[in-house]
Structure 1
């Protein structure tokens, strides 16, 4: 790395330092929000305003995004030596592209349905904040970028790019930011945009409804449901 080149320092900041800033803001921001404003720790669901199509859109989006997040987490942070006995790097890349592509399309359909509903339904749109609408558009951009990386990856199926990106995440985890940034210095723009926007979404968690992803799975498991019986006509 040429330390006199400004672009090298920009690369180090965006892909070596910025992830730590985003994670720090996320952790302390969530802590502060839960401690100071617990009643805002929610999704702000609009299903009661207009339930039509909400369940299908929400299910498609959440199923797709959960698969994508789990795939990214285990795919990026699992060392190559752990799975190399069972699957090669090229095979892992093809598997990741197939599963990620299917999950991404499912998520995309659900997200587009949610966006249309959020922007076009008068009641839902009126009760939605600017941040709610902007967040959906940012998620859409991130999802499209992710699907574009799959298309670009079809031109190199040797697994090298995938391993470099995984090494980037793993080196960040062991606090080697400069080396981590050097691993992605030469990757394509679509990958860099996807990584930058993904990091930015982590930073935005404490300030948006994304905060519910931290605790929603736990709360839903212990959620109390009320059984409501329909009133029958009196004879």
Structure 2
């Protein structure tokens, strides 16, 4: 069990980061003009405002929560905010931000996969 814990939380994040960076670098070098966002915002805005706002508010909440939660020393808040209260606030605010991000992400993914303005025929996707 100790090996799995060490692998998944100590080693695997570095493997995933290296694969991401090296893969992005190789894709940029060898397929530079195949990168495209394929944005369809101009063609179909239905559902875009709600999904995009939910996703971005959730991501910002997660970022701010991690920033303050990990970079704020205990001595700065322990006089007026007990640790248990801070942990409960982090759980509720983080949970709400995560749910907002998840709902917005699912709505954006649904729009991307099933909207006629977003979906391209298969031969155009391959090229």
TM-score by structure 1 length? Answer: 0.42
1:23 is matched with which residue? 17
Q: Could you tell me how far apart the structure 2 residues matched to 1:127 and 1:93 are? A: 49
Deviation per CA, 1:30-63: give whole Å up to 9, x if none: 5x269633872x6442212321121221122111
- Structure 2 contact 39–118 (Cα < 8 Å) conserved: no
Number of corresponding residues: 121
Deviation per CA, 1:144-190: give whole Å up to 9, x if none: xxxxxxxxxxxxxxxxxxxxxxxxxxxxxxxxxxxxxxxxxxxxxxx
Deviation per CA, 1:42-101: give whole Å up to 9, x if none: 644221232112122112211111211331243235444454344222111111122223
Q: Could you tell me how far apart the structure 1 residues matched to 2:27 and 2:64 are? A: 25
What does 1:79-118 align with in structure 2 at a 5 Å threshold? 79-118=73-112
Secondary structure of 2:104's aligned partner = helix
- Give the gaps of 5 or more residues in structure 1: 1-6, 130-235
TM-score by structure 2 length? Answer: 0.69
What does 1:29-40 align with in structure 2 at a 5 Å threshold? 29-30=23-24, 32=25, 36=29, 37=32, 40=35
- Which residue of 48, 53, 77 maps to 2:47? 53
Residue 115 and residue 25 in structure 1: after superposition, are their counterparts in 2 closer, same or farther (change >3 A)?
closer
What does 1:187-226 align with in structure 2 at a 5 Å threshold? none
Q: Could you tell me how far apart the structure 2 residues matched to 1:56 and 1:47 are? A: 13
Q: Which one is further off, 12-21 or 114-123?
A: 114-123
- Give the gaps of 5 or more residues in structure 2: none
